[in-house]
Structure 1
Amino acid sequence: MPLLTPARIIARYTVLEALRSRLLWLFVLAACGAAGLASFLQQLALTESGAVQAALLAAMLRLASVFLLVTFIVTSMAREAADKGLELLLALPMPRAAYLLGKLLGYGALAGVPAVLFGLLMALFAAPAQSALWALSLLGELWIVATFSLLCVASLQQALPALAAASGFYVLARMVGSLQLLAHSSLAGQSWPQQAMTGAIDLLALLLPRLDAFTRTEWLLYATGNWQALAGVAAQTAIYVALLASCALCDFYRRNI
C-alpha cells in the first residue's frame, strides 16, 4: 500500500476526532476569553492602554494555542493506545511511517486553526501585515511543539509524563535565550561550578529551538517584523520538525507492538 494514501486517511480521521472533541470550539472560547481578559486588564493601565491590551492578548493567545493543541495530542494518542486502536491500525498492511506521517499531517492541519483564528483577531489590534507574520510564526511554533508532543507520547506511552515533558520543552525553549543572557552577563569571576552551569546552558541553547524568536509581541506593537525574521522562523521549523519526526519514527520502529 502506498505511503501517502493511508497517511491521508489517518490525517482525515485525526481532524474528525478533533471536531468531535470540540477542539475548534475550545479555540474559539479561548479567543473570546483572552479578548475579554485583555480588555479588562487594559482598563488598569495608566498609559498606552492599547499596547498593553495587544501585548496581553498576544501572550494569552499563544499560550492557549500551545496548551490546547499539546493536551489534545497527548490525550488523543494515549487514549488510542489504551483502547488498542494503535494495535488495530498497525495490524493493517501499511508501514508504521504512514501512521506517524498521518498523525503529523492531521496535527499540522489542526495547528493552522488557531494560527489563522488568532492572527485574524490580532489584526484588530495591530497592523494586518504584522499580524500575518505573527500568525505564520505561531504556526511554525505549533508545528514544532506538536511534533515534540508526538515524540513524547510515542516514547513515554503515558499521558501525564508526556504532557509534563512537552510542557517543560516549551518553557525551556522559550526561556533559554534569557537564561543564556543571564549566565553570560556575569561570566567574569565565575567559579568552576558556575562556568559549568553556563556551559550547560549554552549546550541547551544549541540543542533547543529558539522559540523566543518566534511569535514576538514587539512585531505587533512596533511593526518590527519582517520577512527575514520569518525566514529564520521557517528554517528552524523545518529543521526541528524533520529532526523530531525522525526521532519519533526511530523510536516507533524499535518498539514491539
Structure 2
Amino acid sequence: MPRWGTLRAVRAIAAATVLEAWRSQLPWLLAGLAAVAAALAVFLHGVALVEAGPTRLALLAALLRLATAGIVATLAVAGTVREAQDKQAEQLLTLPIARAAWLCGRLAGFGAVALLPALLALAILLPATTSLWPALLWAATLLCELWIVAAFATFCALGLGNVAPALCATFGFYALARSLTALQLLGDTTARDAGTRLLALATDVVAWLLPRLDGFARTEWLLYGTGTPSDLGAVLVQTVLALLLLLAASLFDLYRRQF
C-alpha cells in the first residue's frame, strides 16, 4: 500500500477508535470521575485537618491518577476484545491494509482517548495549585503514563482475547511499575540472605524492562513545585522506549496469527 494510503488508513482507524470509545460510555465515566473528585474535595474541605490544602491536593491527585488509568485500560481492553469477538479486525485485515497500520491506528486512537481524562484531571487540579508549571508537568506526564497503560492493555487484549484476564494483567503491570522503586529499596534494606538476594536481583531485572511509572505524575510536583524540564525529558524518553517495545511485541503477536 502506498505511504499516503497507509496514513489515511491509520487516521481512519484512529478516528473510528475514538468514536467507539465515545459511544462506550466515555462521557459518563468522565462525568462520574468529575463528580467523585468534587465530592472528595468538598468532604476534605469540611474535615478539620492539619495542612488541609496539601492533603486535599495529594488525595485528589492520587484518585485522578488511578481513576484515569482504570478508565483508559478498561476502554482499550474492552474495545480490542469486542472488535476481535465481532470479527471486525479480521474483516479489516482482509482489505489491503497492513496489520501494522491497523495496530498503529488503534494505538493512536487510544492515545487520543487518553487525552480527555488527562485534560479533565488538569482542569480539576489546576484551581488547587499555586502555579501553572507544576500542574502542566503533572498532567503531561500523566498523559504519558496513560499512553503506556493503553499500549499495554492493547497488547494484553490481543494476546489473551478476554476482558477479565487482560484487565488483571494490565492492573498488575500498573501496580508493579508504580512500586518498583519501593521494592528495590525494600530489597536493599532487608537482611541479605540467599532468598532476599535472589528477589532483589529479580526486581532489578524487572526494573530494567518496565517503565518506572512512580516517576510519572508525581504528587510532590504539585505540592512543592519541584518538577523540572529534565524530569519531563526523562519521562518522555521512558515513554518512547516503552511504546516502541510494546508496539514491537504487539506486532509480533499480530503477525504470527493466521486470519
The answer to whether the superposition gives a TM-score over 0.5 is yes
Q: Does 1:164 align with 2:171?
A: no
Q: Give the whole-Å Cα distance in 2 for the aligned partners of 1:31 and 1:220.
A: 19
Q: How far is the alpha carbon of 1:25 from its aligned partner?
A: 3.1
Identity of aligned residues (%): 46
2:52 paired residue number: 49
2:215 paired residue number: 213
2:148 paired residue number: 144
2:100 paired residue number: 97
2:41 paired residue number: 38
Instruction: Verify the 8 A CA contact 1:74 1:149 in the aligned structure 2.
Output: yes
- The aligned amino acid for 2:120 is L
Q: Does 1:177 align with 2:178?
A: no
Alignment gaps of 5+ in structure 2: none
Q: Give the whole-Å Cα distance in 2 for the aligned partners of 1:146 and 1:109.
A: 10
Instruction: Verify the 8 A CA contact 1:137 1:233 in the aligned structure 2.
Output: yes
Instruction: Verify the 8 A CA contact 1:152 1:166 in the aligned structure 2.
Output: yes
Secondary structure of the corresponding residue to residue 127 of structure 2: coil
- The aligned amino acid for 1:164 is C
- The aligned amino acid for 1:7 is V
2:123 paired residue number: 120
Q: How far is the alpha carbon of 1:157 from its aligned partner?
A: 1.2
Secondary structure of the corresponding residue to residue 128 of structure 2: coil
Q: Does 1:190 align with 2:189?
A: no
- The aligned amino acid for 1:234 is L
Instruction: Verify the 8 A CA contact 1:149 1:166 in the aligned structure 2.
Output: yes
Q: Give the whole-Å Cα distance in 1 for the aligned partners of 2:45 and 2:184.
A: 32
Deviations 1:37-80 (CA, angstroms, capped at 9, x unpaired): 23313433521101111001010011110001101111111111
Q: Using structure 2 for the length normalisation, give the TM-score.
A: 0.95
Deviations 1:3-50 (CA, angstroms, capped at 9, x unpaired): 211111100111111111121331232022122123313433521101
> What do you get for the CA RMSD once the two structures are aligned?
1.2
Q: Give the whole-Å Cα distance in 2 for the aligned partners of 1:144 and 1:237.
A: 7
Q: Give the whole-Å Cα distance in 1 for the aligned partners of 2:117 and 2:23.
A: 17
Q: Does 1:86 align with 2:89?
A: yes
Instruction: Verify the 8 A CA contact 1:18 1:24 in the aligned structure 2.
Output: no
Q: How far is the alpha carbon of 1:250 from its aligned partner?
A: 1.0
Q: Does 1:230 align with 2:232?
A: yes
In the TM superposition, 1:10-21 aligns within 5 A as: 10-21=13-24
Runs of 4+ displaced beyond 6 Å: none
Q: How far is the alpha carbon of 1:237 from its aligned partner?
A: 0.5
Instruction: Verify the 8 A CA contact 1:3 1:97 in the aligned structure 2.
Output: no
Q: Does 1:9 align with 2:12?
A: yes
Secondary structure of the corresponding residue to residue 124 of structure 1: helix
Instruction: Verify the 8 A CA contact 1:10 1:103 in the aligned structure 2.
Output: yes
Deviations 1:132-168 (CA, angstroms, capped at 9, x unpaired): 0000000000011111111111111111111111010
Instruction: Verify the 8 A CA contact 1:74 1:163 in the aligned structure 2.
Output: yes
Q: Which piece of structure 1 moves more, 39-48 or 212-221? A: 39-48
Q: How far is the alpha carbon of 1:89 from its aligned partner?
A: 0.9
Q: Give the whole-Å Cα distance in 2 for the aligned partners of 1:22 and 1:101.
A: 23
